[in-house]
Structure 1
Amino acid sequence: MENTKRKIIIVGGGITGLSAAFYTKKYFDERQIPIELTVIEKSPSFGGKIRTLLREDFIIERGPESFLARKMPIMTLVKELGLEDELTATNPQARTNYIVHKGKLHKMPPGLMLGIPTQLTPFMKTGLISPLGKIRAAMDLWLPKKKGMEDESLGHFIQRRLGKEVLDRITEPLLGGIYAGDTHSLSLQATFPHFSAMEKTHRSLIVGMLANKQKPAPSIAGLPEIAQKSMFLTFRNGMTTLVDRLLKELQTEHLITEQGVQTIVQEDGGYTVHLDNGQQIQADGLIMALPTQQTAKLLPNRSSIQWLERINYVSVANIALAFDEKEFTYPLDGSGFVIPRKEGRLLTACTWSSSKWLHTAPKGKVLLRCYVGRGGAEEWVQLSDEQLITAVLQELKEIMGIEAQPIFHEVTRLERSMPQYPVKHVEELRKVRADLAIHSPGVYLCGAGYEGVGIPDCIQQGKVAAEQLAAYLEL
């Protein structure tokens, strides 16, 4: 294949697929190997869940609003794309976070790290946990570590170490909120494997967190100053900045929208991809950057592949609400609040966007972003937008005392968008990849349904898939 142009197809044009395309192009350009690169996206536009809306000088994120600043995959990509000057950080005056307990907002006690207490006095003073619950959490310091290496649910692990109250009132709304899931269904090894590692090394989860906290923060070479001062970052003109720049880098490639893939046929050492419009495209290698269930339908029907169909995706929605500051009496002295499942609310969280991100609203205005939907609580999908807004405003009134009516609202429904990694996810995914290596060589999987739902995780998966495909096609 030395002088033959490699034909590569990437199915899925979200952030994972675009990252895979960017790195595929980069790797082959560096080696001066000609390729024919095609990216296929079923929807009218690229970017997947990343969508920024500019309305009346508000910057509204309809999908992810930010990313973890110290995650190197995205910081490396930002640097490669020349976007460092576009970054902006959270408001340093809005570090306070709240949890709703019995209908009231409670400040999260200082020293919580991923929901795990690392400071005794603030934890003992908080009204979020009862005296018995605090005693139960402290038992983590003496409980033995788990025997064996088998996976367990995140909820089972936290309850086993810290008790049910800490799980229900603190950890579940914080950690479960990342995946919009039920912690008793989420795999520990696929979501927070370092918790398991801490137990194995330190026996106690609290001791392990304290040991990590006492280590000096590593100074990551090449990390811009802004990323060392803020836990989260975004782009001053919205997250679509990243998508737009990736598309600019890929403008010479074949970018197809509004066409889904009907079938993929393996033949003659390669693949033929059949599109909805009847077009057929040949490929020497494929990167599948789709939700797992869609990928499973396009791959050979083998038992390991069938497992991909069993990964559940939860539907969520976010509702942006814009207000006049003069009519909005509540003091936004933090970044927002989360709501435990036990509260029985429609809302799962609310970000005080104009307080957390100063660039998101014009002067004299307030922007909130409310979240709905989680595993086991998806009845809201039957509600109309008007019913959703009415219910959300009522709950904001009950929790924050807000009487003001919004200037405008924007409802974004993300149906079947949040993958739920089941127990043994890591083990089963390993089997899937091994199956593909033997029976479907040159096919690589990546995306939120596999190894992390965050934007940096998706970028890293796209990059790894590109590396693996490049290595395969250079053989």
Structure 2
Amino acid sequence: MDAAAAKPSRIAVIGGGISGLAAAFRLQELAPKTEIVLYEAGERLGGVLETQQQGDYLVEQSADNFITNVPWGLDLCRRLGIEGDLLQTNDALRKAYVVCRGKLIEVPEGFLLMAPGKAWPILRSPILSWGGKLRLAWEYFVPSRKETSDECLHDFVVRRLGSEAYDRLVQPLIGGIYTADPKKLSVAATMKQFVEMERKHGGLIRGMRKRIASEGKSDGGARYSMFVAPRGGMSAVVDAITARLPSESIRLNAPVRSIDRQEDGPWIVTTDHGAETFDGVVVAAPAPAASQIMQSFDAPLASEVAKIQYAGCAIVLLGVRKEQIARPIAGFGFVVPEVENRRILATSFASYKFPGRAPDDSVLIRTFVGGACHPEMNELPEEELRKIVTEELADLIGLSGEPQLFAVRRWSAQMPQYHVGHLELVERIEQLTAKHAGLALVGNAYHGVGVPLCIRTAEQAVERLVEQLALGQVER
């Protein structure tokens, strides 16, 4: 259908995080005559994505980059005209470390989250004992699992690689991504590629060999070469989308209380300021909020959405002079295994990754505390968190003295937990959603927590909505 033939239409987007913003922008691209109203409960757009200038430091409050081995983040940046502002990570420091018996040891080259790509770096590494190395090598002979039911990440890894590889390598690496309990986490929902390796190739070592042969080279240990960030921080993506949307379409401090729909009639979105009617609704709010606003409209759907659980963490931000670090590492950061019995999850040296994050003589450090396994840590007083983090960093990297910058950012119940059965739960949610023409659910609660996956699922949902409602389309 030509854009000129587009019928007048209104679409509500509920939630102004990256998913809601990507949905609104894609809707504007595909159906430019459609009136968009974006409701955001808070006072700013971007959700957890937020960049702040704190003194001489450029500080990310959550994600500080996005991965490029999937195209959707890069593609959005191209369409927004900000691709030229994307920074590659520092080539010289593209390494990750893991705490091993109180020392920082480099993650073996070629070890991709839970799959060994190269034998020699693992054999040389002191992270695993010889017994652990032999058990990992035995993965080549471990038979494939015959059952097709979902399996938790812990059981999958222990079954294939052994307990020591799980404890010392996989648990901290995965924990750094999901801040989750691997004994509850669905491997099919979070690490599907490794499940497919087992099913298709018979195991992870076999699968990695096939992958390396097809690509002609191995992936680096933490794949940092595939991460980028805007020069001005992740808020640059938020600002670029916001600038492309009509200012009158954005409603801040406007929490949606409910959505409803009369039979074959318009959608009704109710806020504290009254009710408005729409041809379609994109719900991009976190699952708990989405469940609440759909409760009166479709209780079974709301009940299923409410089953998605969340966890949180606290990020302790420190700006220090380089001379305050007695034992600096040549890498972007380190992760901490549970078996080390420490009080932090991971530490990232943000100014090692990208330029412009700290003065030349200083380092911006982000340390993560809490997570699903230690929720009590998330809410500790700021001074106690400061004491914990500085003590841990003093022991691990020789940090001393007072920081130039200290701040704590708490993200309570912001990370969806893809527990065993998540894929089946999402399928039920989508079946119930499909009964309602003009309704779409998007966000990190369903198909992936990374920025590119949020963008992709939001854009796909909008494309389906545009076709479903026969809105005027332009070139895709």
Q: TM-score normalised by the shorter chain: which range applies? A: over 0.9
- Taking a change above 3 Å as real, the CA distance of residues 295 and 230 of structure 1, as seen in their structure-2 partners, is same
- Taking a change above 3 Å as real, the CA distance of residues 315 and 3 of structure 1, as seen in their structure-2 partners, is closer
Question: Of 221, 235, 244, which aligns to 1:240?
Answer: 235
Correspondence 1:318 to 2:318: no
1:6, 1:473 within 8 Å by CA — same for their partners in 2? no
Question: Of 450, 457, 470, which aligns to 1:474?
Answer: 470
Per-residue deviation, 1:404:
2.5
Per-residue deviation, 1:186:
1.1
Q: How many residues align?
A: 460
Question: Of 8, 11, 16, which aligns to 2:14?
Answer: 11
Question: Match for residue 257 of structure 1?
Answer: 252
Question: Match for residue 431 of structure 2?
Answer: 434
* Aligned counterparts of 2:389 and 2:193: Cα–Cα separation in 1: 36
Correspondence 1:104 to 2:103: yes
* Aligned counterparts of 1:427 and 1:113: Cα–Cα separation in 2: 27
Question: Match for residue 362 of structure 2?
Answer: 365
* Aligned counterparts of 2:277 and 2:21: Cα–Cα separation in 1: 20
User: Superposed, which structure 2 residues align to 1:289-304 within 5 Å?
Assistant: 289-299=284-294, 300-304=297-301
Q: Deviations over 1:267-298 (max 9, x none)?
A: 142211110x2321111111111111211222
* Aligned counterparts of 1:382 and 1:474: Cα–Cα separation in 2: 48
* Aligned counterparts of 1:464 and 1:253: Cα–Cα separation in 2: 25
Question: Match for residue 410 of structure 2?
Answer: 413
Question: Match for residue 391 of structure 2?
Answer: 394
Per-residue deviation, 1:301:
4.5
Q: Which runs of 5+ in 2 are unaligned?
A: 218-222, 472-476
Correspondence 1:448 to 2:451: no
Q: Deviations over 1:31-62 (max 9, x none)?
A: xxx32210000010000011101122321111
* Aligned counterparts of 2:198 and 2:381: Cα–Cα separation in 1: 46
* Aligned counterparts of 1:361 and 1:332: Cα–Cα separation in 2: 17
* Aligned counterparts of 1:426 and 1:381: Cα–Cα separation in 2: 28
- Taking a change above 3 Å as real, the CA distance of residues 25 and 3 of structure 1, as seen in their structure-2 partners, is closer
* Aligned counterparts of 1:147 and 1:287: Cα–Cα separation in 2: 39
- Taking a change above 3 Å as real, the CA distance of residues 253 and 198 of structure 1, as seen in their structure-2 partners, is farther
Between stretches 9-18 and 321-330, larger displacement belongs to 321-330
Correspondence 1:27 to 2:30: yes
Question: Match for residue 118 of structure 1?
Answer: 117
Between stretches 7-16 and 261-270, larger displacement belongs to 261-270
Which residue identity lines up with residue 52 of structure 1 in the other structure?
Answer: T
2:95, 2:331 within 8 Å by CA — same for their partners in 1? yes
2:301, 2:429 within 8 Å by CA — same for their partners in 1? yes
Question: Match for residue 266 of structure 2?
Answer: 270
Correspondence 1:138 to 2:141: no
Q: Which runs of 5+ in 1 are unaligned?
A: 219-227
Q: Deviations over 1:357-386 (max 9, x none)?
A: 232111111111111122121111331111
User: Superposed, which structure 2 residues align to 1:370-389 within 5 Å?
Assistant: 370-389=367-386
Q: Tell me, what secondary structure is at the counterpart of 2:329?
A: coil
Q: Tell me, what secondary structure is at the counterpart of 1:337?
A: strand
Spell out structure 1 runs of 4+ moving beyond 6 A: none
* Aligned counterparts of 2:379 and 2:371: Cα–Cα separation in 1: 14
* Aligned counterparts of 1:118 and 1:230: Cα–Cα separation in 2: 16
* Aligned counterparts of 1:174 and 1:446: Cα–Cα separation in 2: 27
Per-residue deviation, 1:243:
0.4
Q: What's the RMSD between the two structures over aligned residues?
A: 1.9
User: Superposed, which structure 2 residues align to 1:335-354 within 5 Å?
Assistant: 335-354=332-351
* Aligned counterparts of 1:128 and 1:56: Cα–Cα separation in 2: 39
Question: Match for residue 197 of structure 2?
Answer: 198
* Aligned counterparts of 1:442 and 1:355: Cα–Cα separation in 2: 46
- Taking a change above 3 Å as real, the CA distance of residues 106 and 373 of structure 1, as seen in their structure-2 partners, is same
Which residue identity lines up with residue 234 of structure 2 in the other structure?
Answer: M
* Aligned counterparts of 1:251 and 1:36: Cα–Cα separation in 2: 9
1:67, 1:455 within 8 Å by CA — same for their partners in 2? yes
Question: Match for residue 68 of structure 1?
Answer: 67
Q: Deviations over 1:324-365 (max 9, x none)?
A: 223333323111100012222221000112222232111111
Q: Tell me, what secondary structure is at the counterpart of 1:418?
A: strand
Correspondence 1:327 to 2:330: no
* Aligned counterparts of 2:379 and 2:225: Cα–Cα separation in 1: 38
Q: TM-score, normalised by structure 1?
A: 0.93
Q: Deviations over 1:161-180 (max 9, x none)?
A: 10111111101111232111
* Aligned counterparts of 1:327 and 1:305: Cα–Cα separation in 2: 51
2:89, 2:224 within 8 Å by CA — same for their partners in 1? no
2:95, 2:224 within 8 Å by CA — same for their partners in 1? no
- Taking a change above 3 Å as real, the CA distance of residues 214 and 415 of structure 1, as seen in their structure-2 partners, is same
1:113, 1:209 within 8 Å by CA — same for their partners in 2? no
1:37, 1:253 within 8 Å by CA — same for their partners in 2? no
1:145, 1:203 within 8 Å by CA — same for their partners in 2? yes
Question: Match for residue 39 of structure 2?
Answer: 40
Q: TM-score, normalised by structure 2?
A: 0.93
Between stretches 73-82 and 346-355, larger displacement belongs to 346-355
2:56, 2:358 within 8 Å by CA — same for their partners in 1? yes
Between stretches 318-327 and 384-393, larger displacement belongs to 318-327
